[in-house]
Structure 1
């Protein structure tokens, strides 16, 4: 009797594992076999060597697991911190290398704060919430953030004071696609480069700071307007993002390589948005 019970438990356990394994493989091949759809072109590329500082517009970047690289510039490889208190980063400790007194003095003279220190990301932080294994320097959630020009145009149509795409600090800007089409993307493919979309990009108070003047908008725009129509839907996503509106999509590298402005952008859509799929019959 005991042996029969053990055998039954083993059979049930094996069946559950086999079922989940087959389900995973079907989902995997469903996406791998789904068609690539052209959605637009690369309109702009940016690299932000110092976190939260002004970005640099570039024609091409090399995409690796840590993010975009343009010449000697790697995205968000440096951060400026308070020398006495350090910086609380995503409630975690992020180790780095002090760039020395010369860099600190230079920044202190500009910012008028003698306690400023310039730090280089020596060790990298893993993102445990991602669909793929990712390493981060001083990025928030992912090595790449993608915006679309049409989504910005839609937002500006609702704003009195227009904003530029630089206020959202994207790495890749896609032109000529539908507004907020990025909500539907499962993966992005540009030339030989493949990017896995990991989650929507929730926006914070940084979007209210003019990237040219450094002045915060007195009415907290565009964040205030985005909260009226771009909050996550009710459910797990709303619990995760709370009152942070969604604008853009985060991504990590599946296949590294070079991309440049003007290339065609292809995507695989999430299953709910795929119009046709070979495995839908299974």
Structure 2
């Protein structure tokens, strides 16, 4: 029997994740997931742990639906109001996508610039300004916020357990930043799924998730593993066409509610 055993969201792209017991899904994935992003103040290009591992220490939490709390070691907490979706628009780039989204203001920019040690801005994406998901895998009109490419990421607990055994030490699921964790399936069973149902919500499994150097960062300390694990082990048995895959990207067929313990049914 398959069950939903983990549910995570990441309010600020590349900052600390948040474990949830239940969550709603809107047109961009989990409500509140990756709706905020840090960008270079000059170029508008997105910034992540790949370049700034200290972002592992950055905490962002929704306070209701109109305000974000920022916290980090050595910094005073900062409350950031949700910006007007049509005011102070800033051009930003995430991978090959360029868009204009609201800037969160000077206080947030100053706070983040001091903590990260470089000039940056905080931006937020309203649903109406979100990106189209790659139409090689999605229908026109299916959108994503500031996640790398897809609204949802799923990993099987047994897949992580198998990887940890191969590496020879425990691995935190948070290294791989999934939204959904499923227990009860065989290792890498999710690779063969095309459609699943969790509770009453149907989801399409559209593409494997290619992994990068971020997986070598300890999500608690930001320290990079000297042996490049677990990426080095993954390259030995999960590499295809020059990419290393772990986990599956999903698109929800509509909106709904998810909760830990819900049954997961493989439809196709």
Q: Is residue 142 from structure 1 mapped to residue 146 from structure 2 by the alignment?
A: no
Contact map agreement 2:97 2:131 (CA 8 A) in 1 = no
| Structure 2 equivalent of residue 99 of structure 1 | 104
| Structure 1 equivalent of residue 33 of structure 2 | 75
Q: Which moved more, 1:212-221 or 1:162-171?
A: 212-221
Could you tell me how far apart the structure 2 residues matched to 1:44 and 1:59 are? 8
| Structure 2: runs of 5+ lacking an equivalent | 46-92
Contact map agreement 2:132 2:143 (CA 8 A) in 1 = yes
Could you tell me how far apart the structure 2 residues matched to 1:188 and 1:65 are? 18
| Structure 1: runs of 5+ lacking an equivalent | 1-38, 233-237, 270-282
Contact map agreement 1:132 1:196 (CA 8 A) in 2 = no
Residue 104 of structure 1 deviates from its aligned partner by: 1.1
Q: Is residue 164 from structure 1 mapped to residue 172 from structure 2 by the alignment?
A: yes
Contact map agreement 1:60 1:261 (CA 8 A) in 2 = yes
Could you tell me how far apart the structure 1 residues matched to 2:37 and 2:226 are? 26
Q: TM-score, normalised by structure 1?
A: 0.74
Q: Alignment RMSD, CA only?
A: 1.4
Residue 161 of structure 1 deviates from its aligned partner by: 4.0
- Aligned counterparts, 1:1-282, within 5 A: 39-69=1-31, 74-87=32-45, 88-113=93-118, 115-122=119-126, 123-127=129-133, 128-133=135-140, 134-232=142-240, 238=241, 242=242, 244-269=243-268
Contact map agreement 1:63 1:193 (CA 8 A) in 2 = no
Residue 85 of structure 1 deviates from its aligned partner by: 2.0
Contact map agreement 1:167 1:207 (CA 8 A) in 2 = yes
Residue 260 of structure 1 deviates from its aligned partner by: 0.2
Contact map agreement 1:50 1:79 (CA 8 A) in 2 = yes
Q: TM-score, normalised by structure 2?
A: 0.77
Equivalent residue of 2:160, what SS? helix
